[in-house]
């Protein structure tokens, strides 16, 4: 396997390399004979072949979809509200009570409460760019029905939200015309935010209801002569492969996102010799890619080595390997990522390197809305994602994925490198137990219900975990958290029994107690953040799958008739059959389908239902131009792709069809570079991988933690940075490697976990 290398000018290098390969080079030695595993590789396939010499490679050029150019004497923002339209002006609140309206040719802000911070009432505008070296003039007119002070800012829209330019201004009934000239000294920003902070300032008490009117907002380019050209997203490489590599016997495909390439060759990088020439499939237009794509097959190349595809005329792919054991290092890092996300404990430098830290978030938490002052120890568990919240719902999904990887592949490795390695318990179970011990603390002793999450009231700045010292708050008990808790605790009682019977008993008792809570509260509905809690919500209104999963796992753990009856009833209701954090019915179906010695009608019903979904997924993969199950790209699309790969592997356990394995590998290939953007979506690996993730430890330290799977393409452009730089991109290309883009470039425990399952199964 190959760790990340410096991405060079591959296309050019490839073109030069070709001239070195030259025509008519003699077929000297074969690059390799058969593979070490004794696969059926044939010497002829790996042999150097005659190059036909007819190769043209030009630099790929996709249209530049940048939205913003700097034109001297023009407005980067120019809005006068004369048409009574807000033109994208909108609000953010932290405790503030207010609204905005375009009225009388201006933007009117009606405030009845200023909230708890300067940005307690914020009016903002996104959708412009700021270029380094450019001289701007910020102008607007403003009045307020009462005398007050406020601050306007043009700020980084993420991270520490620091201002590029700002000023505090006293306003009142008389119109104030702000006119402020400045030069953008910092790195160009394609997606800053203009904010009017009309909230609470120190020494500034609530001033009662008032109206602020904003008009004639202009950010004028005074002098653009030194302005840097703002770069859009890099042009994706046209020729895409799995950058980590293939096992000798894998079906191997290359994707070219251009209709013009007819043929490609596979070149051994260390010898510069061509080992295979292939022709592409016919061009097919792929709407999600926004272009025609062609597929080349080079499965015949089986000899271990490092290769590159040269495609005519689109150029070269990144390098990739063929061989065994290519995934050993990346697998470890993908698993260790969970260790690195551990909360409430010291992270050892021997495991975490630069990401080691002392125990974080050890402060006791209060229950939201409880004024008694009672606090609870809910330390432990994994940080969910780029934020430090600990949420039961996605935590349970992660634990289940680890359980399945352990169960389905009998994966008992005890040497992954966590502190528990070598303790005689499989590391995947040790890692899962870290979350389970925390989840046990999240159960309310009195009722058996489970608190939805523990976080601060708001997300912290981009600080280290030990620096989030805000009060911890337990969000209300939710039905989804309780049901997910029940399911994984019930399963834990089975999986840990042979290692620690006492722990297994604790888990089962907790599961039963949680189930009683569910029975007593069937109509709780989905979780909603209380007004003051602004951290991740994980809302889910469809709870039939959660009910089903909880009952099924309790039945499997106990074979009790009561749980059996509930499971039988639940399995025939309508529910989501996914493997997500919200739709989880697939887990229930699968665990029943693969179980032995259970009610046979239930088992076959589950198997039939699970396989029906798997058949659909398989056929979506088979009809997809790029062999993947998804057609649309939601937030966290990489989780769905990894999850589809997982689904296919699970199906292969229930039904014999080699296509399952082949297409599970295709989902893997997508994750590692066989995709629209050409990114290997796991940090630290491949030639092109995310380097600027939305992940507080990485941002605070200025380096990227390895082994993290990012969310990936999100066609809905769900953050301001993405909407600025990805505007107009087709869904499969809607990805940007920037920490401000939390909808593309965040990481989570439950995006890594299906990848852990997939990689465990494919190794
Ligand atoms: O992964 C979640 C995604 O499916 C949702 O669309 C999104 C918005 O609700 O939230 C994502 O989860 C985030 C969570 O709310 C807070 N921690 C970071 C998660 C990943 O972005
Ligand atoms: Zn922590």
Q: What is the pLDDT of residues 359-400, one digit of tens each?
A: 999 999 999 999 999 999 999 999 999 999 999 999 999 999
The residue whose CA has the least distance to atom 13 of ligand 1 is: 536
Phi and psi at 449, nearest 5°, equal -70, 160
- CB neighbours (10 Å) of residue 697? 25
* pLDDT grade for 47, boundaries at 50, 70 and 90: low
E-strand ranges in 131-261 read 135-144, 148-155, 163-171, 176-183, 193-197, 210-223, 239-240, 245-246, 253-256
Q: Please report, for the domain that includes residue 138, its CATH number.
A: 2.60.120.260
Q: How far apart are the CA of 576 and the centre of ligand 1, in A?
A: 18
CA distance 633 to 609: 25
Same domain, 105 and 156: yes
Q: For 618-676, how does the pLDDT look when each residue is reduced to its tens digit (9 = 90+)?
A: 999 999 999 999 999 999 999 999 999 999 999 999 999 999 999 999 999 999 999 99
Domain region containing 265: 45-63+233-322
Q: In this structure, what token pair is assigned to residue 688?
A: 């092109």
Q: Is residue 265 part of a domain?
A: yes
The residue whose CA has the least distance to atom 3 of ligand 1 is: 635
Task: Please identify, among 301, 322, 343, the residue that sits at the C-terminal boundary of a domain.
Answer: 322
* pLDDT grade for 204, boundaries at 50, 70 and 90: confident
CA 329 to chain CA mean position, Å: 21
Give the closest ligand to the alpha carbon of residue 394.
Answer: 1
Q: Is residue 150 part of a domain?
A: yes
Q: Is residue 435 part of a domain?
A: no
Same domain, 205 and 76: yes
Looking at every residue in the chain, the average pLDDT score rounds to 91
> pLDDT > 70: what percent of the chain?
91
Same domain, 96 and 219: yes
Same domain, 103 and 117: yes
Same domain, 105 and 183: yes
> pLDDT > 90: what percent of the chain?
83
* pLDDT grade for 38, boundaries at 50, 70 and 90: very low
Q: Is residue 564 part of a domain?
A: no
Mean pLDDT, residues 56-64: 45
Q: Is residue 119 part of a domain?
A: yes
Which of 536, 576, 715, 717 to probe ligand 1 with, by most ligand atoms within 8 A of CB? 536
Q: How far apart are the CA of 744 and the centre of ligand 1, in A?
A: 11
Buried b / exposed e over 607-623, threshold 16 CB at 10 Å, is: bebbbebbeebbebbee
Q: Please report, for the domain that includes residue 288, its CATH number.
A: 2.60.40.10
CA pseudo-torsion sign 429, 658, 264, 293: negative
Q: Is residue 317 part of a domain?
A: yes
pLDDT at 32 over 70: no
Same domain, 115 and 197: yes
Same domain, 178 and 96: yes
Same domain, 95 and 217: yes
pLDDT at 205 over 80: no
Task: Please identify, among 322, 345, 375, the residue that sits at the C-terminal boundary of a domain.
Answer: 322
pLDDT at 54 over 80: no
> Sheet holding 193-197: strands in order across?
90-93, 121-126, 193-197, 148-155, 163-171
Under a CB-based contact definition with an 8 Å cutoff, are residues 308 and 358 in contact?
no
H or E element in which residue 647 lies:
helix 637-654
CA distance 261 to 280: 7
DSSP β-bridge partners for residue 77: 219
- CA angle, 510 then 512 then 514, to 5°: 70
Under a CB-based contact definition with an 8 Å cutoff, are residues 124 and 196 in contact?
yes
Q: How far apart are the CA of 384 and the centre of ligand 1, in A?
A: 10
H or E element in which residue 441 lies:
helix 427-441
Q: How far apart are the CA of 452 and the centre of ligand 1, in A?
A: 14
Out of 49-63, 401-415, 741-755, pick the least confident. 49-63
Under a CB-based contact definition with an 8 Å cutoff, are residues 32 and 305 in contact?
yes
Q: For 442-498, how does the pLDDT look when each residue is reduced to its tens digit (9 = 90+)?
A: 999 999 999 999 999 999 999 999 999 999 999 999 999 999 999 999 999 999 999
Under a CB-based contact definition with an 8 Å cutoff, are residues 208 and 179 in contact?
no
Out of 16-25, 408-417, 423-432, 612-621, pick the least confident. 16-25
Same domain, 53 and 131: no
pLDDT at 560 over 70: yes
Q: Is residue 254 part of a domain?
A: yes
The residue whose CA has the least distance to atom 18 of ligand 1 is: 385
Same domain, 99 and 205: yes
Q: Is residue 381 part of a domain?
A: no
pLDDT at 22 over 60: no
- Per the structure, the count of domains in the chain is 2
DSSP state of 746: B
Atom of ligand 1 nearest to the CA of 748: 20
Same domain, 73 and 213: yes
Mean pLDDT, residues 275-293: 96
Round to the nearest angstrom and report the end-to-end CA distance of the chain.
Answer: 13
E-strand ranges in 69-189 read 75-79, 90-93, 96-103, 106-114, 121-126, 135-144, 148-155, 163-171, 176-183
Single out the residue of 235, 233, 231 nearest to residue 131, CA to CA: 231
Atom of ligand 1 nearest to the CA of 582: 4
Same domain, 119 and 216: yes
* pLDDT grade for 52, boundaries at 50, 70 and 90: low
Residue 126 pLDDT = 86
CA 490 to chain CA mean position, Å: 28
- CB neighbours (10 Å) of residue 584? 27
Task: Please identify, among 187, 204, 223, the residue that sits at the C-terminal boundary of a domain.
Answer: 223
């Amino acid at each position: 396997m190959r760790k990340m290398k410096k991405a060079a000018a591959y296309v050019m290098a490839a073109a030069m390399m070709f001239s070195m390969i030259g025509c008519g080079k003699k077929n000297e030695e074969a690059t390799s004979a058969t593979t070490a595993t004794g696969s059926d590789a044939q010497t002829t396939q790996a042999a150097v072949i005659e190059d036909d010499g007819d190769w043209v490679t030009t630099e790929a050029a996709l249209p530049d979809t940048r939205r913003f150019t700097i034109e001297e004497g023009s407005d980067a923002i120019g809005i006068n509200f004369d048409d009574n339209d807000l033109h994208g002006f909108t609000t953010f609140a932290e405790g503030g009570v207010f609204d905005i309206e375009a009225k009388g040719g201006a933007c009117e802000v009606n405030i009845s409460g200023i909230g708890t911070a300067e940005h307690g009432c914020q009016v903002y505008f996104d959708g412009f760019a700021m270029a380094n070296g450019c001289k701007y003039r910020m102008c607007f007119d403003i009045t307020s029905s009462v005398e007050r002070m406020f601050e306007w800012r043009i700020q980084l829209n993420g991270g520490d939200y620091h201002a590029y330019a700002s000023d505090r201004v006293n306003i009142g009934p008389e119109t104030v015309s702000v006119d402020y000239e400045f030069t953008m000294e910092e790195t160009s920003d394609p997606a800053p935010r203009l904010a009017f902070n009309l909230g609470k300032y120190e020494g500034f008490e609530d001033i009662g209801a008032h109206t602020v009117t904003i008009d004639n907002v202009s950010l004028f380019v005074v002098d653009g002569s030194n302005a840097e050209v703002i770069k859009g997203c890099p042009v994706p490489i046209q020729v895409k492969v799995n950058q980590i590599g293939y096992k000798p016997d894998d079906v191997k495909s290359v994707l070219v996102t251009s209709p013009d390439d007819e043929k490609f060759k596979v070149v051994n990088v260390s010898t510069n010799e061509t080992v295979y020439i292939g022709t592409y499939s016919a061009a097919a237009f792929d709407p999600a890619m926004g272009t025609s794509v062609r597929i080349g097959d080079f499965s015949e190349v089986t000899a271990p080595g490092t290769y590159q595809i040269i495609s005519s005329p689109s150029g070269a792919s990144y390098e990739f390997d063929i061989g065994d054991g290519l995934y050993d290092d990346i697998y470890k890092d993908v698993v260790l990522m969970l260790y690195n996300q551990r909360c409430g404990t010291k992270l050892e430098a021997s495991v975490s390197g630069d990401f080691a830290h002392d125990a974080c978030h050890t402060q006791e938490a209060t229950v939201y809305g409880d004024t008694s002052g009672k606090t609870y120890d809910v330390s432990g568990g994994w940080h969910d994602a780029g934020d430090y919240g600990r949420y039961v719902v996605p935590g349970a999904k992660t634990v289940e994925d680890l359980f399945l990887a352990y169960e389905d592949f009998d994966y008992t490795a005890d040497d992954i490198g966590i502190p528990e390695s070598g303790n005689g318990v499989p590391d995947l179970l040790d890692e899962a137990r870290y979350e389970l011990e925390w989840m046990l603390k999240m159960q309310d002793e009195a009722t058996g219900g489970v608190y939805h999450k523990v976080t601060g009231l708001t997300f912290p700045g981009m600080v280290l975990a030990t620096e989030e010292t805000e009060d911890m708050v337990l969000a209300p008990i939710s039905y989804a958290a309780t049901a997910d808790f029940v399911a994984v605790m019930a399963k834990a009682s089975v999986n840990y029994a042979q290692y620690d019977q006492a722990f297994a008993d604790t888990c089962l008792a907790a599961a039963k107690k949680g189930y009683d809570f569910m029975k007593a509260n069937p109509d709780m509905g989905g979780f909603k953040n209380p007004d003051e809690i602004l951290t991740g919500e994980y809302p889910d209104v469809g709870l039939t799958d959660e009910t089903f999963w909880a009952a099924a796992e309790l039945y499997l753990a106990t074979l009790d008739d009561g749980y059996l009856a509930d499971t039988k009833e639940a399995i025939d209701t309508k529910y989501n059959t996914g493997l997500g954090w919200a739709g989880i019915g697939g887990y229930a179906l699968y665990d029943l389908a693969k179980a032995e010695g259970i009610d046979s009608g239930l088992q076959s019903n589950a198997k039939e239902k699970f396989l029906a979904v798997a058949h659909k997924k398989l056929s979506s993969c088979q009809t997809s131009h790029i062999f993947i199950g998804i057609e649309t790209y939601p937030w966290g699309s990489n989780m769905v792709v990894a999850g589809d790969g997982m689904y296919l592997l699970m199906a292969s356990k229930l039904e014999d069809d080699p296509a399952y394995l082949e297409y599970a590998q295709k989902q893997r290939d997508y994750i590692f570079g066989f995709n629209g953007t050409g990114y290997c979506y796991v940090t630290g690996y491949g030639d092109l991988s995310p380097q600027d993730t939305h992940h507080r430890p990485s941002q605070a330290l200025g380096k990227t933690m390895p082994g993290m799977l990012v969310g990936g393409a999100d066609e809905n452009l769900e953050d301001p940075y993405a909407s600025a730089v990805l505007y107009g991109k087709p869904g499969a290309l809607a990805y940007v490697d920037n920490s401000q883009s939390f909808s593309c470039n965040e990481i989570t425990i439950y995006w890594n976990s299906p990848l852990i399952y997939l990689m465990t199964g494919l190794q």
